[in-house]
Structure 1
């Protein structure tokens, strides 16, 4: 055999080996990745050949599957579809699972997750038809409904937590949507709904409670600044600090004013407790500069800022700027400049105050149930971090009670219940209405629920919005439902 033929045969051999290796990789090692792709039609058809697990609240399904006579065999249906749209999401044949539990726990609901091996095995032995696991959620339907109705036609979000466990009791995002057309077995209906929802400028598919464009928190962030000051040891709730009408800022001719005319106290002085009660900007701007950017970042991190959380849906991390000048430190002290948060994060801040300084990991799935509805696993309460000492949380609780009793948050009061809270009116740009915030917990002496409310662009009040008057009553309705 001459040399050119030998070279050609060697090249063919190498190509054959590469082809064999590539085929082996695709068929064996890469098969799982291919199967898991949302657009894999064979995998989708296979998943529709068995009943998808239910999503349950209080033992009642908010998402379930019913048999059909068409090729897909099972039709996904949602009860109260708009009320729970951002919790359930959708499971579309064309677009795959998305938007909520349907996507985050697709492996369990479809029955493909390895955690279900023994359930599949016992089901086969017992002669049961294979189907996905069902998920019992932590949502309280009365609290969810109260949050939905109180927010009404305003854009924004409401989150309610059990501060003792991290269980999510309510998760509402407006505008909502109806996932029903997205799970139609008619591709044209799916496509029309998909294109319409994605073209909607109000972004109804975005779960504003945990993701999307994060919000400036405004004065609800003063809880974090106050916690940093109390933990520092130099200040207590009775400490007298500067609270002038306008705070002089170094390196600039622009001062930081209060949201109300005049100083926060006689002689331009105010106690830390009254500064929080009346939401004194100049006092907390001064504290921001005294503490410095590093201390505020560290304190925020203890509340969960910057953490990559899954509830099981992914949560966008809340952030503080990495570098700050003194004027920027003052702005951060009052929750402005480049501070950005999710409503869930703000609820976690209140939960930490309510829970002796301990932040519990938020979760939405209470238990995983097998095909016979026996319990496969349960979520155990898990500590995420320690934000502060119990003594600090006690002082903050007293200060936040003053906010609702005689400060900016009186409209968040619940008759017969001691409520601790904080208002926020967050500026977001020249000529734009502020976002209205309220966060707090109740009962203050035995906390059972922590709430965060944000109403975008001031809601119906527009430029005249204040956190106490717009978001406060929404929080009160949610707390009342949780405590009944």
Structure 2
């Protein structure tokens, strides 16, 4: 073989090897990235041309797929779309997925590792692969009652089954219709998505678990009271009931709602301080307890803990390294303390459940197309937030809040409700957020709720948790107890 032929053969071999390596790299290394690229129409057609399982509430498909005569094969539809959008999310050929459509995607499309045996059977039997159904823990009547009661107010509402941790309702307002994003008209879906991104009130945000977290205001006093009881704090019958508490190292003061004293004598018990939501009592108590004790108790209630339901939940936060003035403000739920409505519902659920904090759950079970259950939620204890004795003492105080304190508008005929109101400052020149959290029946707790109405809703600066949020919570509890 002469030199030119040898050189040509070597060059051909190098080119062949380069081609082989390039193909291997693309098919093995780059394949997942290319498949996930939203610009890859072939991947979209393949994914949307497969059967996708439904999302179910109380036996009804609230998200489901039907065969259609277009390039995608199946169209996703949503029943009562705006009602369940915070839970289902959307499944779109343009903007991808959100909610359970995203975080249970591998179950809905049948690709989950837990479904491998089902996939094998399907292949061996020559059947068309199908996704699994995801059955939620939601109670349709409670969800509907929560949405109706919250109405056009911006905010969120959550209801939890105290015995199991199952989420019975999760409503956020404003909402949106996922059908607008699920359309196969790519231009229409893209335009609607941009409209929702630009819309006032951020309708795509699930306020119950994500987005900007809220200052809790006086609902945080439950944690301050729990800290005092758990640590054996003395002098709980003689807290500061004056009209103003001067913050340490400061000329600023903390006053009470309405500007008056909480007690003619200038001192007040922990029970009455919680009943009428006395700021001076809890601010001074917070400094006596210290930020470390408050933080430890908040953490036992689930603060600074990563949760998924399976959607990720933004962590509620009790700030680090507070000085004395900041600690006083934190003790009444102001300053840098931030929460999600789900977290606030978990606090009430733990108190109603004898002090045990449970993992909240949104998916009850998963079934394959032949109705075989492949996953089932089980009660999962996160830890003892407070002792049973402390839980009972807090319950007794919360009963008084609703019986004769700030939460009387949460009362239900024939049912004892335990609760706590909150009116949280939300920024200079802005109306306060209105809160209510609680549970019922107080003697045998079944359902815990949390409601937040942003900036007082239609009541604006005149709003309080007792006047705005408490009636909403009562409507949710009433529906759940039926």
TM-score of the two chains, using structure 1 as the length reference: 0.94
Separation (CA, whole Å) in 2 of partners of 1:444 and 1:278: 19
1:13: how far off?
A: 10
Separation (CA, whole Å) in 2 of partners of 1:302 and 1:14: 64
1:87: how far off?
A: 0.9
Which of the numbers 363, 366, 370 marks the counterpart of 2:364? 366
Which of the numbers 281, 288, 302 marks the counterpart of 2:279? 281
1:284: how far off?
A: 0.3
Separation (CA, whole Å) in 1 of partners of 2:13 and 2:306: 48
Task: After superposing the two structures, state which structure 1 stretch, 464-473 or 184-193, moved more.
Answer: 184-193
Q: Which residue of 2 aligns with 1:68?
A: 68
Q: Which residue of 1 aligns with 2:351?
A: 353
Structure 2: unaligned runs, 5 residues or longer: 1-9
Separation (CA, whole Å) in 1 of partners of 2:283 and 2:11: 73
Task: After superposing the two structures, state which structure 1 stretch, 24-33 or 421-430, moved more.
Answer: 24-33
Q: Deviations over 1:282-340 (max 9, x none)?
A: 00001110111111111111111111111111111011111211111110000000011
Separation (CA, whole Å) in 2 of partners of 1:194 and 1:373: 35
Match of 1:146, SS state, is helix
Q: Which residue of 1 aligns with 2:224?
A: 225
1:33: how far off?
A: 4.7
Which of the numbers 437, 441, 444 marks the counterpart of 1:443? 441
Mapped contact 1:348–1:359 kept (Cα < 8 A): yes
Counterparts in 2 of 1:429 and 1:23: CA distance versus 1, 3 Å: same
Mapped contact 1:303–1:387 kept (Cα < 8 A): yes
1:34: how far off?
A: 4.0
Separation (CA, whole Å) in 1 of partners of 2:328 and 2:15: 66
Counterparts in 2 of 1:45 and 1:344: CA distance versus 1, 3 Å: same
Q: Which residue of 1 aligns with 2:408?
A: 410
Separation (CA, whole Å) in 1 of partners of 2:336 and 2:15: 55
Mapped contact 1:130–1:371 kept (Cα < 8 A): no
Q: Which residue of 1 aligns with 2:206?
A: 207
Q: What are the residue-to-residue correspondences of 1:152-171 with 2, within 5 Å? A: 152-171=151-170
Q: What are the residue-to-residue correspondences of 1:64-213 with 2, within 5 Å? A: 64-98=64-98, 100-213=99-212
1:263: how far off?
A: 1.9
Q: Supply the RMSD in Å over aligned alpha carbons.
A: 2.1
Q: Which residue of 2 aligns with 1:379?
A: 377
Mapped contact 1:39–1:95 kept (Cα < 8 A): no
Task: After superposing the two structures, state which structure 1 stretch, 447-456 or 243-252, moved more.
Answer: 243-252
Match of 1:256, SS state, is strand
Q: Which residue of 2 aligns with 1:467?
A: 465
Q: Which residue of 1 aligns with 2:290?
A: 292
Q: Which residue of 2 aligns with 1:424?
A: 422
Mapped contact 1:39–1:96 kept (Cα < 8 A): no
1:153: how far off?
A: 0.7
1:124: how far off?
A: 3.4
Counterparts in 2 of 1:117 and 1:266: CA distance versus 1, 3 Å: same
1:398 maps to 2:372: no
1:398: how far off?
A: 0.4
1:22: how far off?
A: 6.4
Q: Deviations over 1:119-143 (max 9, x none)?
A: 1222334443211111000000000
Match of 2:128, SS state, is coil
Separation (CA, whole Å) in 1 of partners of 2:228 and 2:20: 66
1:27: how far off?
A: 2.2
1:48 maps to 2:32: no
Mapped contact 1:63–1:79 kept (Cα < 8 A): yes
Counterparts in 2 of 1:245 and 1:141: CA distance versus 1, 3 Å: same
Q: Deviations over 1:372-412 (max 9, x none)?
A: 22211101110122211111101000000000000000001
Q: Which residue of 2 aligns with 1:328?
A: 326
Counterparts in 2 of 1:295 and 1:39: CA distance versus 1, 3 Å: farther
Separation (CA, whole Å) in 2 of partners of 1:404 and 1:128: 58
1:483 maps to 2:478: no
State the aligned residue count: 474
Structure 1: unaligned runs, 5 residues or longer: 1-9
Match of 2:365, SS state, is strand
TM-score of the two chains, using structure 2 as the length reference: 0.94
Separation (CA, whole Å) in 2 of partners of 1:390 and 1:181: 48
